[in-house]
Amino acid sequence: MAPVYTAPGVGILLSLLFLPAYAQTTAPNLALGYPSKPIRMVVGFAGGGAAEIAARIVGQVYTERWGQQVIIDPRPGAGGNIASEVVAKSPPDGYTLLTCAFAFAVNPSLFAKLPFDTLKDFAPVSLFAYTANFLTVHPSVPARSVKEFIALAKAQPGQITFGSAGNGTASHLAGELMNSMAGIKLVTVQYKGIALVMTAMMSGEVDSGMLGISTMLPHVKSGRMRALGLTSAQRSRAMPNLATIAEQGVTGYDFGAWFGVYAPAATPAAVVRTLSDTITRALRDPAVAERFDKEGAVIVGGPPEALAKHVKAELALWAKVVKSAGLRID
């Protein structure tokens, strides 16, 4: 579900970009004595992916504002759970942070047991960006819209294939949500990573898939893949003429990868607020906005309470989808 933060007297999402330039946060930082040393930003996914790129953008923001180095620490594996456990068990001093993605809210339903409590072991800092996916098909698939694709899937139940980068990943659950909401049964074909899914999609080994805008846009523009719809509730500036899946008949369909920052539980409230305020103010800077825009991401911003509310809603949504799809990792 696309996150929306409405600040007092301010519109949602991109409206943050049109506020006056952000105020400096140096004075509050000095008053807190924070930060006085480098900060470690733990990421649960491999380098080069959307989560790692988002972490580097946020890390650069903190470095520029405070003059303290932010060390990006990739800890891939178990759908982000390894990184989450590292942060959950770190000292609550604001010097170890987690850049989390939507899997953070999926894993409690997907995994039989987690080595941490998603709601109790972390302090939310800020929800900072959201990026949607394309529903794309190989050019050989006789569908030029979402409606035609759904009609094709219903006419050929269990025959239309869907590429996924692994059980419980964004590319997988986007398809499962489509199955559930559109009343179809796409056959999921699992691959070990996004690169292999892309290769399978472009070769015609699988009929369709849902991968990120920044990943698929060059291939859509070249004609090697056909984009049928956008997974988010709103259209993207990357392809403004492409209608969303919801606009094309799957009312309420809204899926995308969101990114947020968490600290360990019991991190001082003043430190959490400083971390959150710095990100939200920085998002008003056109230079920072441009970094996210290049990745096809929409800026969100907002206080810790907004991230906490969003994650609770996501936990409820994905619990239903995971149960409906019969997914489980022991």
CATH 3.40.190.10 for domain 132-230, yes or no, is yes
203/225 Cα distance (integer angstroms): 10
pLDDT value at residue 32: 62
- Cα–Cα distances in angstroms (integers) from residue 311 to residues 100, 183, 187, 260, 317, in the given order: 11, 26, 29, 10, 10
Q: What's the rounded mean pLDDT across residues 281-291?
A: 84
At the topology level of CATH, where does 13-130+255-325 sit? D-Maltodextrin-Binding Protein; domain 2 (3.40.190)
291 confidence band (pLDDT: 50, 70, 90): confident
301 confidence band (pLDDT: 50, 70, 90): confident
What percentage of the chain reaches a pLDDT higher than 70? Answer: 90
Average pLDDT, the chain: 86
pLDDT digits (tens, 9 = 90+) for 208-267: 999 988 788 899 999 999 999 999 888 888 888 999 999 999 999 998 888 999 999 999
pLDDT value at residue 185: 93
pLDDT value at residue 18: 30
pLDDT value at residue 33: 85
pLDDT value at residue 130: 85
262/37 Cα distance (integer angstroms): 18
More confident site: 5 or 117 = 117
pLDDT digits (tens, 9 = 90+) for 157-195: 999 999 998 887 888 889 999 999 999 999 999 998 788
pLDDT value at residue 283: 85
CB 32, CB 271: distance < 8 Å = yes
Instruction: Show me where the domains of the chain are located.
Output: 13-130+255-325, 132-230
134/139 Cα distance (integer angstroms): 14
Q: What's the rounded mean pLDDT across residues 311-320?
A: 92
Weakest-pLDDT range from 30-44, 121-135, 168-182, 289-303: 289-303
Rg (CA), the chain: 20
What percentage of the chain reaches a pLDDT higher than 90? Answer: 57
Weakest-pLDDT range from 26-35, 114-123, 261-270, 300-309: 26-35
91 confidence band (pLDDT: 50, 70, 90): very high
Q: Is 293 exposed, middle or buried (0-12, 13-18, 19+ CB in 10 A)?
A: middle
pLDDT digits (tens, 9 = 90+) for 141-160: 999 999 999 999 999 999 99
Reading the block at residue 299, the tokens are 């800026």
- Nearest-CA neighbor of 314 among 262, 272, 258? 258
181/74 Cα distance (integer angstroms): 34
Reading the block at residue 287, the tokens are 């230079």
48 confidence band (pLDDT: 50, 70, 90): low
22 confidence band (pLDDT: 50, 70, 90): very low
